[in-house]
Amino acid sequence: MSQQIWFITGSSRGLGHALVTAALEAGHVVVATARRPETLAETFKEYGDRIHPLALDVTSAEAARDAVEAALERFGRIDVLVNNAGYANVSPIETSDDDDFRAQFETNFWGVYHVTKAALPALRRQRAGTVVQISSIGGRVGGSPGIASYQAAKFAVDGFSRVLATETAPFGVRVMVVEPSGFATDWAGSSMTVHPIPDAYDETVGAMNRRVRQSTDGAAGDPRRAAEIIVRTVHRDRVPTHLLLGANAATMALDHSRGQLAEATAWEAVSRSADFSEPYPAPLPPEGTAA
């Protein structure tokens, strides 16, 4: 495998840090970006000039353009772009602070938009490259109480990436959305602020917070394995449009897809009847059928 230039956001910890390690161990060059990248050069000093830390606040379109330009000036190309930077805070929608909700969306969606858009001219000129969007199984299944901003942003990333894949396919650019379940990172630790949860939401947001985010058992996923799987997958001639990572992610995705198929099938006649050319009215499915 020839040496690639990887550009990874959110590299200072968690899955991003593991991805930097995996890409370096595979022999690649990594532009590792973070808001405060000072420690990266020291942590990865054994890799010499194959690690290039850069400061980047992904919520700034100008900063994204500057970082991408710096990478291109240094290495001449970007082969793999990984949009990993992201975080979630916990609060019911009703009591969410509007500024906090918006700030999460700025990082989790607009950060992906800014960095991707900044890199697209180079990827188009190269007529090659892979864009890896780190999403979440929640960005496919949704419904996790307390993290509406995070999950809404991940749904937006998926929609954005589907269009991106269609538009850039003629240029040889590949797009892969990664959908992990819970991994042993600090996503639910120091990176997460849990805002006060009113009693009315204790059985939803509170219960989820206690069961998952404050569990002493820890998450099931190994970020090192996840990172290695991503690097190995990018090496393939063809990549999946969506890569599920974790046993829970695989189970949840399959259950969700089966449920969607059953519901669409049950309501098919009603759905079709909205067109002029179809029989109308169509009977509604019996109560209790595929809700």
Return left, alpha or beta for 227; rule: phi > 0 is left, psi -120 to 50 is alpha, else beta.
alpha
| Adjacent-strand bridge partners of 175 | 131
Q: What band does 216 get if pLDDT is binned at 50, 70 and 90?
A: low
Return left, alpha or beta for 145; rule: phi > 0 is left, psi -120 to 50 is alpha, else beta.
beta
Average pLDDT over residues 182-191: 72
pLDDT for 187: 64
Domain assignment present for 14: yes
Average pLDDT over residues 203-221: 78
Domain assignment present for 272: no
What are the catalytic residues?
A: 135, 150, 154
| pLDDT at 173 exceeding the cut of 80 | yes
Tell me the two tokens of residue 242: 């969506």
Angle, vertex CA 251, rays to CA 217 and CA 173, nearest 5: 105
Average pLDDT over residues 43-70: 97
Given a contact cutoff of 8 angstroms between Cβ atoms, the answer to whether 244 and 179 are in contact is: yes
Domain assignment present for 254: no
Domain assignment present for 183: yes
Average pLDDT over residues 231-249: 97
Average pLDDT over residues 92-119: 98
Domain assignment present for 167: yes
pLDDT for 217: 65
pLDDT for 195: 92
| pLDDT at 109 exceeding the cut of 80 | yes
Give the integer Cα–Cα distance in Å for 203 and 197: 10
Domain assignment present for 97: yes
Residue 90 domain boundaries: 5-245
Give whole-number Cα distances, 190 to 25, 143, 213, 214, 248, in Å.
Answer: 27, 23, 11, 12, 23
pLDDT for 209: 85
Domain assignment present for 274: no
Given a contact cutoff of 8 angstroms between Cβ atoms, the answer to whether 134 and 227 are in contact is: no
Given a contact cutoff of 8 angstroms between Cβ atoms, the answer to whether 114 and 61 are in contact is: yes
CATH number of the domain where residue 77 is located: 3.40.50.720
Query: Phi first, then psi: what are they for 107, rounded to 5°?
Result: -75, -50
Of the candidates 87, 22, 37, the residue with the CA atom closest to the CA atom of residue 225: 22
Given a contact cutoff of 8 angstroms between Cβ atoms, the answer to whether 178 and 82 are in contact is: no
Report the predicted TM-score, pTM, of the whole model to 2 decimal places: 0.95
pLDDT for 291: 61
| pLDDT at 15 exceeding the cut of 70 | yes
pLDDT for 35: 87
Tell me the two tokens of residue 182: 């819970």
| pLDDT at 169 exceeding the cut of 70 | yes
Contacts of residue 196, Cβ cutoff 8 Å, sequence gap at least 6: 91, 95
Angle, vertex CA 186, rays to CA 184 and CA 189, nearest 5: 120
> Average pLDDT of the chain?
94
Domains held by the chain: number: 1
pLDDT for 188: 61
User: Residues of the chain with pLDDT > 90: what percent?
Assistant: 85
Domain assignment present for 26: yes
| pLDDT at 290 exceeding the cut of 70 | no
